[in-house]
Amino acid sequence: MKGISKLIIDLANLKMFESIESLDYNSISKDHIGEIQVIFQGEKIQESVYTFDDEFTISKRIIEKSSLK
Please write the tens of the pLDDT for every residue from 3-56: 788 888 999 999 999 999 988 666 677 788 889 999 999 999 999 998 889 999
User: Can you give the pLDDT at residue 1?
Assistant: 43
User: Can you give the pLDDT at residue 63?
Assistant: 94
Domain chopping of the chain, boundaries? 2-65
Closest CA to 1 of 38, 34, 29: 34
Contact 33, 54 (CB under 8 A): no
**β 32-40/43-50 pair status:** antiparallel
User: Can you give the pLDDT at residue 69?
Assistant: 61
User: Can you give the pLDDT at residue 54?
Assistant: 93
